[in-house]
Amino acid sequence: MNFKPLEKSNPREDLTELPALGLGSKAIAEDIRHYFARTLGRDKNCRSTHYPYVALALSLRDRLMDRWKNTRYAYDEQDSRRSYYLSMEFLMGRTLGNAMLNLGITDKTTKALYTLGLELEEIAESEHDAGLGNGGLGRLAACFLDSCATLQLPVKGYGIRYEYGMFRQDIDQGHQIEEPDHWLRDGNPWELERPEYTQRVQFGGRSEFYSDASGKMRVRWVDTHDVLAVPYDIPIPGYKNDTVNTLRLWSADATDVFDLDEFNAGDYTESVAAKNAAENITMVLYPNDASENGKELRLRQQYFLASASLKDVIRDWCRLHGDDFSQFAAKSCFQLNDTHPSISVAELMRLLMDEHGMDWDQAWSITSSSMAYTNHTLLPEALERWSVSLFKQLLPRLLEIIYEINARFMAQVAQRWPGDNERMRRMSIIEEGGDPQIRMAYLAIVGSFSINGVAELHSRLLTEGLFNDFYQLWPERFNNKTNGVTQRRWLAGCNRPLGELLNATIGEGWVCDLPQLKQLIPHAAKAKFRKQWHAVKQQNKQRLADLVEADCGVRFDTEAMFDVQVKRIHEYKRQLLNVLHVIHLYDRIKRGDTDNWTPRCVLIGGKAAPGYQMAKLIIKLVNNVANVVNNDPDVGDKLKLAFLPNYRVSAMEIIAPGTDLSEQISTAGKEASGTGNMKFMMNGAVTIGTLDGANIEIREEAGDDNFFLFGLTAEQVNEQREGYDPQSIIENDEAFSRVMQLLRCGHFSQFEPGLFDPIIGSISSPHDPWMVAADFSSYIEAQQRVSEAYRDQERWTRMSIINSATSGKFSTDRTMLEYNEQIWKLEMVPPLPLNGK
């Protein structure tokens, strides 16, 4: 592309001086017509919902555009300190509903569409989810951006524009089938390509030493294979405050130059074909949640994100400050979302030294006072390590820098603990051995001024276990930031019936100040209010029942308890324990033990990583049990089980409002925080859960009476691991024995003998890391208490109200204010006023 600067023309003329667009239904309807007929060129014969959707999206995007520019101008004018949220995942879901909500024009837009003969709900279904993430970590990043824009904090997200997001999950005969998610096929009206800010990212090659004009020894990285990073910007609107922040996603593109250098003219076609290799980098999201896979392409993606983003920040810095970096660290903060972008520590060192002429100490002072690291897991299989040999070949200059960082760090350790070689070995960024590895978490810790976990328990366990050596060295770096979710999407947007009841009861303040929900507490004692609350829940349950019937072919009766567990399928999350309970209920029905029965509809959903065999087998088990239970005439409406395929953000927007019971049953000490638990609580579900992650804080807020607790604590899990004997636990528990007998005799695998042997083996194994059997009886007993509570509908509704009323802590507005007060220290910057405002 040709970006020749304006010279003869007057470059100071601001072409963006325009009157602000109207937010009324008439103005919106006119624009929809304009885009539909003129820009998209459709006519009355167009029968698809897609083009009206695009016309609507473009009309709303126009209204974001002026606000976006005025937000950028304000940040520049104030020269404010800024934060950059670096994340390999942003699980954004759909944008349309959120854009309308935050612009405050949902009703006006609905009316505009209505005057055009269009139904908003139908049109909105045209939008693909932006599934650029696996689960909680990616959705957290999306919620953070919403809260930062609402709080008017100058925070920019940096991520990757994967051509294929999280795979679509189909279920075939009970098995998970992965289908590619080509979400950009129909175009994406919400993104704005910014080729003028393209960056060049280097791979391969070698380091070359040279002395510069002043005789200083310097290094340059040469003979590299370069890839272009092209940015696409997504607007992130704040709630009714005219702020629009930016999510910048990088897409890989081939450089035209290196192809022709690489091959001689005769290899023209091959050199054009080499484009593929470059563009592969951003082709697909790795679908592993909570496990690393060590693939070279993944390391390429990580470096691609880090390098392009840091170069972009530095480019913008130089636009405002020239090459004076004295204030760079004072005005910039990089938040690393897990270790995935932690190569940024070495890359910022490289850029400051090799490309901006700094010496080591200067560069290190800037880097180590601008990086902050968030840890998301204690699971050892999720801790990223990259082999030194891969680094040497792919990122040789970065390896040199990591070695130097480690050498200086080891000297510090030796000074603090003289002669403690064992500790040096433990703490080294380089794990020695036959195939030495780089421990990315340690690189992140050494290079950061702040290290946080994502719930109180998790942050404490980090300092006591995984990172204890580092905690002893630098206790002041460690802190907690309990996760949250944005109540704009997860309450106001997805549960309009409840939102309206809340507005009518306590006003609208909760939308930007969630703790105001506690004003609901006195209303829980009023029968009339409970009736209204119950009616809203029933309406939402009907919507969920319709989804389940459409996607699973199973009828849920809204009078039954809706018992839901949706999240990634993982052994630590213990979907198995949930299935064992369902089998137990089935067994009771078959035995005729059904006095005072509480009908239940159990819904389980979630994706398994494609290579995670046990997780896939658990999906198959859920489907097989569902088949038996739902087709047994003895069972009838007493019990239903359904597996919901393709769990994703837009599905959760229907699921959370329609749920009575939220299943948060991970092995204590394994779930870092959880955020699904918070979405359910906000929408008035009651939790059954272990003392794990943020469940602990949820129970503290809701009170013991409004939370169904069971299971071992994290400490007990560790104590009881030794001498753990599930066989004898099963033998000594009548109900448990019967459940295991049904599994063993093939009751749920009549035509697939032995299919579930690995599951039976895992539950019965003394080495089961997830201790399923240890919590079985406690879980069954807690579920019995749940059933009794549900039978008293007045009591249940009171619990439901109290849960919602006490969910104020779990807004990402609170989380972001804590990050800001303790880590980022940004000032709130309002945008410049709109023209004519």
| Residues designated catalytic | 376, 567-568, 573, 675, 679
Cα 349 to Cα 402: distance, rounded to the nearest angstrom: 10
Q: Is residue 135 close enough to count as binding ligand PLP by CB under 6 A?
A: yes
* Of 589 and 619, CB closest to ligand PLP: 619
The three-state DSSP-derived secondary structure of 441-483 is HHHHHHCCCEEEECCHHHHHHHHHCCCHHHHHHCHHHEEECCC
Q: Is residue 676 close enough to count as binding ligand PLP by CB under 6 A?
A: yes
Q: Is residue 165 close enough to count as binding ligand PLP by CB under 6 A?
A: no
What residues are paired with 164 via a beta bridge? 284
* Of 586 and 612, CB closest to ligand PLP: 612
With a CB cutoff of 8 Å and minimum separation 6, the contacts of 504 are: none
* Of 332 and 675, CB closest to ligand PLP: 675
Residue from 341, 674, 711, 808 binding ligand PLP (CB under 6 A)? 674
Q: Is residue 567 within 8 Å of residue 626, measured between CB atoms? A: no
**Measured CA distances, 278 to 159, 200, 252, 308, 402 (Å):** 17, 12, 6, 14, 25
Residue from 70, 95, 282, 675 binding ligand PLP (CB under 6 A)? 675
Cα 222 to Cα 397: distance, rounded to the nearest angstrom: 10
For 498, the token pair is 């409840």
DSSP 287: -
- Find the part of the chain contacting ligand PLP (CB under 6 A) among 349-357, 411-419, 645-653, 698-706: 645-653
Nearest distance from C-beta of residue 830 to ligand PLP, angstroms? 30
Mask 408-447, x = binds ligand PLP (CB under 6 A)? ----------------------------------------
* Of 370 and 695, CB closest to ligand PLP: 695
* Of 136 and 159, CB closest to ligand PLP: 136
| Number of residues lying near ligand PLP (CB under 6 A) | 12
Nearest distance from C-beta of residue 242 to ligand PLP, angstroms? 28
Q: Is residue 288 close enough to count as binding ligand PLP by CB under 6 A?
A: no
φ and ψ of 219, to 5 deg: -125, 135
Residue from 136, 287, 453, 493 binding ligand PLP (CB under 6 A)? 136
The interaxial angle of helices 96-103 and 50-78, nearest 10 deg, is 50
Q: Is residue 482 close enough to count as binding ligand PLP by CB under 6 A?
A: no
Residue from 473, 502, 615, 652 binding ligand PLP (CB under 6 A)? 652
Nearest distance from C-beta of residue 64 to ligand PLP, angstroms? 24
Q: Is residue 157 close enough to count as binding ligand PLP by CB under 6 A?
A: no
Cα 553 to Cα 460: distance, rounded to the nearest angstrom: 45
Alpha helices, H only, 555-648: 575-591, 613-630
Residue from 343, 649, 743, 772 binding ligand PLP (CB under 6 A)? 649
Cα 234 to Cα 246: distance, rounded to the nearest angstrom: 6
Cα 516 to Cα 51: distance, rounded to the nearest angstrom: 40
**Where in 556-575 is the site for ligand PLP (CB under 6 A)?**
567-568
Asked whether the CA dihedral 500, 503, 509, 513 is positive or negative, the reply is negative
Cα 29 to Cα 115: distance, rounded to the nearest angstrom: 8
Q: Return the residue nearest ligand PLP (CB atom).
A: 676
Nearest distance from C-beta of residue 17 to ligand PLP, angstroms? 41
Task: Spell out the long-range contacts of 319-328 with Cβ–Cβ below 8 A and sequence spacing 24 or more.
Answer: 320/76, 320/79, 323/356, 325/352, 325/356, 325/358, 325/366, 328/366, 328/370
* Of 351 and 686, CB closest to ligand PLP: 686
Q: Is residue 97 close enough to count as binding ligand PLP by CB under 6 A?
A: no
DSSP-derived secondary structure for 575-588? HHHHHHHHHHHHHH
**Where in 756-815 is the site for ligand PLP (CB under 6 A)?**
none
Q: Is residue 657 close enough to count as binding ligand PLP by CB under 6 A?
A: no
Asked whether the CA dihedral 563, 567, 569, 571 is positive or negative, the reply is negative
Nearest distance from C-beta of residue 564 to ligand PLP, angstroms? 10
Q: Which residues of the shown chain bind ligand PLP in the complex (CB under 6 A)?
A: 135-136, 139, 567-568, 648-649, 652, 674-676, 679
